[in-house]
């Protein structure tokens, strides 16, 4: 069933008409912003269209709120990454003039890195970042975290394996 399928369009139109005001209100309560709520509600219905499962829904509000919650998390995560990037730029001694296009590409790359690291435990992620970003040796990491070099290596291997497996997808 394609997006051009009239029955899918009718189903989504009905779903939209019946639940869009509720979803906007639900998102507005969560976000405290009418504009962001409207944007995420629209994105939620776009996701419903692309997933093409509108006709199969038994609990539309639960399904819509689940998609909206996921989109909200993505939005918050993107904002956090973008804010961290901007703070890093601001903390540099000399001002770096980054074009809007380059900034967008950098933030997208950071989001991809965040996605790759998301499934790691906190300690594994910390060790991976200390080794990869801070350039610390396994011995230095072990000293700082008061753990053995063997433990550091196990976490590093786990992180690299995780990232490589996800990068292949």
pLDDT tens profile 28-72: 999 998 999 999 999 998 888 777 666 677 888 998 999 999 899
Confidence band of 23 (pLDDT split at 50, 70, 90): very high
What's the CA gap between 112 and 160, in Å, rounded? 15
What's the CA gap between 127 and 142, in Å, rounded? 9
Class of the domain covering 119-168: mainly alpha
Confidence band of 1 (pLDDT split at 50, 70, 90): very low
Query: 111 CB contacts (<8 Å, ≥6 apart)?
Result: 77, 78, 81
Average model confidence (pLDDT) across the chain: 83
DSSP state of 54: G
Q: Output the DSSP codes for 135-168.
A: ---HHHHHHHHT--HHHHHHHHHHHHHHHHHHHH
Are residues 151 and 142 in contact, defined by beta-carbon separation less than 8 angstroms?
Answer: yes
Query: pLDDT of 131-164, one tens digit each?
Result: 887 788 999 999 999 999 999 999 988 888 887 7
What's the CA gap between 14 and 2, in Å, rounded? 17
* CA distances, 164 to each of 9, 68, 117, 161 (Å): 39, 29, 11, 5
Percent of the chain clearing pLDDT 70 (strictly above):
88
Q: Which helix (H) or strand (E) holds 96?
A: none
What's the CA gap between 52 and 46, in Å, rounded? 10
Residues written for the chain: 169
């Amino acid at each position: 069933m394609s997006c051009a399928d009239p029955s899918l369009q009718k189903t989504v139109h009905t779903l939209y008409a019946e639940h869009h005001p509720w979803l906007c209100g639900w998102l507005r309560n969560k976000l405290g912003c009418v504009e962001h709520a409207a944007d995420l509600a629209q994105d939620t219905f776009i996701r419903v269209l692309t997933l093409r499962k509108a006709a199969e829904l038994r609990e539309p509000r639960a399904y819509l709120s689940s998609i909206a919650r996921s989109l909200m998390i993505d939005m918050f995560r993107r904002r956090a990454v973008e804010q961290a990037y901007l703070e890093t730029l601001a903390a540099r001694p000399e001002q770096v003039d980054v074009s809007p296009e380059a900034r967008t590409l950098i933030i997208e790359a950071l989001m991809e890195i965040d996605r790759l690291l998301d499934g790691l435990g906190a300690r594994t992620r910390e060790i991976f970042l200390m080794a990869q970003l801070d350039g610390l040796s396994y011995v230095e990491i072990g000293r700082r975290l008061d753990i053995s070099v063997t433990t550091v290596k196990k976490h590093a291997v786990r992180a690299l394996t995780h990232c490589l497996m996800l990068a292949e997808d």
